[in-house]
Amino acid sequence: MKVLIVDDEPLVRRALSRAFEASGHEIRQAASGEEALRVWQEFAPDVVLLDVIMPGLTGPQVLEEVTDPRATVILMSAFSGDQEVHTGEGARAKHFLAKPFTDIFAVVKLVEGLTIAE
Amino acid sequence: MKTDAISGSQIEEESLPERPKLLWVDDEPHILELAKRAVREEPFDFVGTTDLDIARKMIRAGEPSVLVADQVLKKGTGIELLEYAKAVSPATSRIILTGKMTDELVEEAINRASVFRFITKPWDQEELLRDLDLAFLHRQNTVERYRLLQKIRQQNTRLEELNLNLEKIVYARTHKEELSKRNSEATLQNLRGTLRFINDLSLADSVEEILYRLSRDFRKFSSVGSPILGFLDAENRGVLYYLQGKQATEKRVTTQWKEALEPRSHSEEDRQYLANVLGRPLAQLLVFPLKSPQQTFVFGSAVLFIEHALPAEDLEELKHFLAQRIQPLSLALDRVLMENYLKLTSYRWAKTFDDFTDPIAIVDSQFSVDRSNRSFQKFMKKARCFERFADRDSPCPGCPLIQDFSSPSVLLRQIKVKDRSFQLTSYPIFLPGQTIPSNRVNYYSETTDKNRLQQQLIQNEKMSAVGLLAGNIAHELNNPLTGLRSLTQVLLTEVQAGTQLHGDLLEVEKGVQRCEEIIKSLLNFSQIGPSESMGETDLGELVESTLPFLKSATRDHSTKTLLGNKPLFVRVEYNIMQQVIFNLINNACQAMEEPGELTLSLTSESGLAHLKIKDTGPGIGEEHLQHVFDPFYTTKEEGQGTGLGLSMSRSAVESFGGTIEVETELGQGTTFIIKLPLVEK
């Protein structure tokens, strides 16, 4: 499974990358919304883990730009209230992951479960 | 009070009339009418005129004792008229009446006309009468001093004539009557000495100086001690003044010396009295009463004590010597005491007025400030109350002077001056016989309620600022913490369980977890993040469960826990209440610099659970006590505390319907008391 991880926090990117790699997935990272758009096109990920709040383009803004409908998008944010807003308006993101994660491997399992179900 | 320069031709020789006269010159007949009414019960005659010629004629004739002139006259100014009076009738006390007192006016009035007082229009009845009384008194004294100086001058002339004659005679009879000449010389010497003394005294402006001049005059007598002056002060208390070396000593006495109507000597009673007061034995005493022809301040009981060891014939000479000096001495003392009293009373009055911390102003219907105290005068130069007090161009909203100036009752209003609120109490002042107030005294007291509300407001604002800040910081921290924790979890899977490294990583993960918890409670405090639900908890159990987190804080101190056996249920958010207790215990431990005793006690009192956290630290100083619950207020060294613990603890406890109180005693320690409503189970 090809996973694109978009987050401006290097520690978060690294942790997610390591966890997904450990479970045998192919990983690409992006540190901003702009970078995410470039990588998305060239990498064509199955799953995108997308941070909501980033300097420059935000997660939802990135989703408006994306033309590839294939990937499963999971928004991540520390604002619990963001969930309804972002999963509601853009049909692109169906899933929401609240930060902080209590268990990173539970996150990996969750994401794997989501993609299998679709 | 300055004496006018005297020139021989201007000395008044007239005797004082039965009732002295007040001449009031003003263009406004109604002012004259008001003034006449104001003084109708006073022991002097009032003459009011608008005619300058009549006024000048009366002044020339020396008729008025006191002259009041309005500064604004149709023909010329009040100062001009007073200047004229100063020239032709210098003993007349001169008062200028003005609607507007300026520095220039004061300067000109004093320099040109040596005015005695200023009266501002509209005047205050009591103040007017007091000023007029003083003016009459001043007049009496001036006349008396003139009379005395006149006498001196006459004596001087006579002496010169005598001297001339004597010298002629002496010249003629030198060879026959050597003795006679020597006697005459002695008399002459004596008179000259007296004259010098009188001149000296007229320059003295303190009791000390009078005494000093007097004692200098005594030098020619041997075996005579320095004189001791006894008199009653303005409050009718006995005062003794005497020189010790060059230093004047003022001694207040509780018991009065025996009154002396005539000079007396060798009185055992006097000797004992003074010996007791001064605490030393005394030689013989001569007691001389002071007498003023215009008895005003020096009453019958003012005396001069003179210690001496003179034989009888020399004592007679001393008595004679004193008799010559006693009148000028009395007058000088009288004058000095009166001047001192005046200075003192006007100073006291001004000081009393100024020392009110609440603003007070006496204003007229045009908002002009007649008098105001220091607290009122932010902008001294301004004439009107709203300019001076509120820095406004128009009357303050809500000011009762706008519509109700004429109301005869005391008015109570709330007014706002910038962001401060005042309770304004406005008292009317009436001239006698008037039903419409001429002025009002406005007393402003800052409303304490408002003060408290304002404090509350500031506190709330601080809190919401803290909340916002805390929320932002929490979010910023959450991101890296998430990464940190997750990464640690990844690492944990790659390290063999049971190794040192694995244990270290577990600790890191736990540490991060605790950070996340703290951030969560921070978010709860600032009420941004999701709120935990309230639950019923046994407060004792909650304290117990918090203690393990405080092991490092309590390590150096002995801890006494008196939590009781009976569970006390309260409705709180468990995590947050734990945080509060954690904060308070941590603070208590940090407060104790030396190993001390921490006491935690839990009791139930009238429906409330009381949790006391007591330390044996240095206590909290008064200057810090009122701020301990302020956000960011900390006395800890940098890095030791944020100053947020107590303020968050308080808002948390208050959100559970409870309170936090603090009791402290310097050197003994501090107790924080959390009171929470008990829940029936």
* Span B548-569, pLDDT tens digits: 767 777 888 888 888 888 889 9
> Which tops the pLDDT comparison, B287 or B177?
B287
Count of residues in chain B: 681
Q: Which residues contact B44 (CB under 8 A, 6 or more apart)?
A: B19, B20, B21, B22, B65, B66, B132, B136
Tokens 């107590």 locate to: B646
Alpha-carbon distance B357 to nearest alpha carbon in chain A (angstroms): 53
> Which tops the pLDDT comparison, B186 or B95?
B95
How would residue B2 be classed by pLDDT, with cut points 50, 70 and 90?
very low
State the complex-level ipTM: 0.79
Task: Tell me what pLDDT residue B602 has.
Answer: 93
User: How many angstroms separate the CA atoms of B616 and B599, rounded?
Assistant: 9
Q: Is B220 in CB contact (< 8 Å) with chain A? A: no
Tens digit of each residue's pLDDT (9 = 90 or more) over B49-63: 999 999 999 999 888
Instruction: Check pLDDT > 50 for residue A83.
Output: no
Q: Which residues contact B524 (CB under 8 A, 6 or more apart)?
A: B531, B532, B573, B575, B576
CB atoms B483 and A11 under 8 Å = yes
User: How many angstroms separate the CA atoms of B616 and B609, rounded?
Assistant: 23
For the segment B117-146, the average pLDDT, to the nearest whole number, is: 85
Q: Is A19 in CB contact (< 8 Å) with chain B? A: yes
The residue type at B593: E
Quick check: B553 and B589 in contact, CB under 8 A? yes
Alpha-carbon distance A42 to nearest alpha carbon in chain B (angstroms): 26
For the segment B643-651, the average pLDDT, to the nearest whole number, is: 73
Quick check: B120 and B370 in contact, CB under 8 A? yes
Tokens 């006894």 locate to: B230
Q: Select the residue from B479, B494, B508, B518 to test the A interface by mutation, using most A Cβ atoms within 10 A.
A: B479
Q: Which two tokens stand for residue B184?
A: 């005459």
CB atoms A9 and B479 under 8 Å = yes
Instruction: Check pLDDT > 50 for residue B105.
Output: yes
Q: Is A103 in CB contact (< 8 Å) with chain B? A: yes
Alpha-carbon distance A86 to nearest alpha carbon in chain B (angstroms): 18
Per-chain mean pLDDT for chain B? 80
Q: From chain A, pick out residues whose CB is under 8 angstroms from the CB of B480.
A: 9, 11-12
> Which tops the pLDDT comparison, B164 or B514?
B514
Tell me which chain A residue has its CA closest to the CA of residue B482.
A100
For the segment B18-46, the average pLDDT, to the nearest whole number, is: 89
Tell me which chain B residue has its CA closest to the CA of residue A98.
B482
Tens digit of each residue's pLDDT (9 = 90 or more) over B498-508: 898 998 899 89
CB atoms A80 and B530 under 8 Å = yes
CB atoms A12 and B479 under 8 Å = yes
How would residue B532 be classed by pLDDT, with cut points 50, 70 and 90?
low
Instruction: Check pLDDT > 60 for residue B287.
Output: yes
Listed as own residue / partner, the contacts of B637-646 with beta carbons closer than 8 Å and 24 or more positions apart are B640/B590, B641/B587, B641/B590, B644/B466, B644/B470, B645/B583, B645/B584, B645/B586, B645/B587, B646/B583, B646/B584, B646/B587
> Which tops the pLDDT comparison, A91 or B31?
B31
Task: Tell me what pLDDT residue B49 has.
Answer: 92
Quick check: B526 and B466 in contact, CB under 8 A? yes
Alpha-carbon distance B579 to nearest alpha carbon in chain A (angstroms): 20
Q: Is B485 in CB contact (< 8 Å) with chain A? A: yes
Task: Tell me what pLDDT residue B8 has.
Answer: 38
Task: Tell me what pLDDT residue B297 has.
Answer: 52
Alpha-carbon distance B372 to nearest alpha carbon in chain A (angstroms): 60
Alpha-carbon distance B394 to nearest alpha carbon in chain A (angstroms): 52
Q: From chain B, pick out residues whose CB is under 8 angstroms from the CB of A98.
A: none
Q: Select the residue from A82, A102, A111 to test the B interface by mutation, using most B Cβ atoms within 10 A.
A: A102
CB atoms A9 and B487 under 8 Å = no
Measured CA to CA in angstroms, residue A109 lies from A31, A78, B55, B303, B550 at distances of 23, 20, 115, 113, 37
CB atoms A12 and B482 under 8 Å = yes
Q: From chain A, pick out residues whose CB is under 8 angstroms from the CB of B487.
A: 11, 14-15, 18, 104
Tens digit of each residue's pLDDT (9 = 90 or more) over B580-601: 888 888 888 888 888 889 999 9
Task: Tell me what pLDDT residue A88 has.
Answer: 45
Q: From chain B, pick out residues whose CB is under 8 angstroms from the CB of A99.
A: 478-479, 482
Tell me which chain B residue has its CA closest to the CA of residue A82.
B529
The residue type at B383: A
3-class SS letters over chain A: CEEEEECCCHHHHHHHHHHHHHCCCEEEEECCHHHHHHHHHHHCCCEEEEECCCCCCCHHHHHHHCCCCCCEEEEEECCCCHHHHHHHHCCCEEEEEECCCCCHHHHHHHHHHHHHHC
Tell me which chain B residue has its CA closest to the CA of residue A20.
B490
Q: Which residue from B475, B490, B516 is facing A15, i.e. has the nearest CB? A: B490
Percent of chain B with pLDDT over 70: 84
Q: Which residue from B480, B486, B530 is facing A19, i.e. has the nearest CB? A: B486
Per-chain mean pLDDT for chain A? 82
Task: Tell me what pLDDT residue B677 has.
Answer: 92
Q: From chain B, pick out residues whose CB is under 8 angstroms from the CB of A27.
A: none
Q: From chain A, pick out residues whose CB is under 8 angstroms from the CB of B486.
A: 11-12, 15-16, 19, 101, 104, 107
For the segment B411-434, the average pLDDT, to the nearest whole number, is: 80
Measured CA to CA in angstroms, residue B154 lies from B159, B170, B329, B331 at distances of 8, 23, 19, 18
CB atoms B481 and A101 under 8 Å = no
For the segment A37-42, the average pLDDT, to the nearest whole number, is: 92
User: How many angstroms separate the CA atoms of B350 and B353, rounded?
Assistant: 5
User: How many angstroms separate the CA atoms of B654 and B660, rounded?
Assistant: 8
Q: Select the residue from B472, B477, B481, B482 to test the A interface by mutation, using most A Cβ atoms within 10 A.
A: B482
B9: left (phi over 0), alpha (psi -120 to 50) or beta: alpha
Q: Select the residue from A21, A104, A108, A111 to test the B interface by mutation, using most B Cβ atoms within 10 A.
A: A104
Task: Tell me what pLDDT residue A39 has.
Answer: 93
Q: Is B529 in CB contact (< 8 Å) with chain A? A: yes
Q: Which residue from A13, A79, A103 is facing B489, i.e. has the nearest CB? A: A103
Tens digit of each residue's pLDDT (9 = 90 or more) over B462-489: 666 666 677 777 777 888 888 898 899 9
Quick check: B258 and B285 in contact, CB under 8 A? no
For helices A104-117 and B448-494, angle between their N-to-C axes, nearest 10 degrees: 80
For the segment B173-191, the average pLDDT, to the nearest whole number, is: 67
For the segment A21-36, the average pLDDT, to the nearest whole number, is: 93
Quick check: B369 and B361 in contact, CB under 8 A? yes
> CA angle, corner B526, sides to B521 and B532, nearest 5?
45
Tokens 């001064």 locate to: B278
Q: Is B490 in CB contact (< 8 Å) with chain A? A: yes
Q: Which of helix, strand or coil describes residue B633?
A: coil
| CA nearest neighbour of A52 among A21, A90, A1 | A90
Tell me which chain B residue has its CA closest to the CA of residue A107.
B486
User: How many angstroms separate the CA atoms of B456 and B120, rounded?
Assistant: 45
| CA nearest neighbour of B489 among B515, B514, B513 | B513
Q: From chain B, pick out residues whose CB is under 8 angstroms from the CB of A105.
A: 489, 493
Tell me which chain A residue has its CA closest to the CA of residue B480.
A11
Measured CA to CA in angstroms, residue B30 lies from B24, B35, B95, B471 at distances of 12, 8, 19, 74
DSSP single-letter state for residue B72? B
Instruction: Check pLDDT > 50 for residue B229.
Output: yes
Instruction: Check pLDDT > 60 for residue B244.
Output: yes
Tens digit of each residue's pLDDT (9 = 90 or more) over B356-369: 778 888 888 888 88
Quick check: B640 and B571 in contact, CB under 8 A? no
Tens digit of each residue's pLDDT (9 = 90 or more) over B360-403: 888 888 888 888 887 776 655 677 888 888 888 888 877 888 88
Q: Is A10 in CB contact (< 8 Å) with chain B? A: yes
Q: Which residue from B482, B484, B490 is facing A99, i.e. has the nearest CB? A: B482
Q: Which residue from A18, A78, A99 is facing B490, i.e. has the nearest CB? A: A18
Instruction: Check pLDDT > 70 for residue B324.
Output: yes
Instruction: Check pLDDT > 70 for residue B169.
Output: no
Count of residues in chain A: 118
Percent of chain B with pLDDT over 90: 10
Quick check: B121 and B97 in contact, CB under 8 A? yes
Q: Is A101 in CB contact (< 8 Å) with chain B? A: yes
For the segment B655-676, the average pLDDT, to the nearest whole number, is: 90
B363: left (phi over 0), alpha (psi -120 to 50) or beta: beta
Task: Tell me what pLDDT residue B21 has.
Answer: 92
Task: Tell me what pLDDT residue B124 has.
Answer: 82
User: How many angstroms separate the CA atoms of A76 and A95, rounded?
Assistant: 9
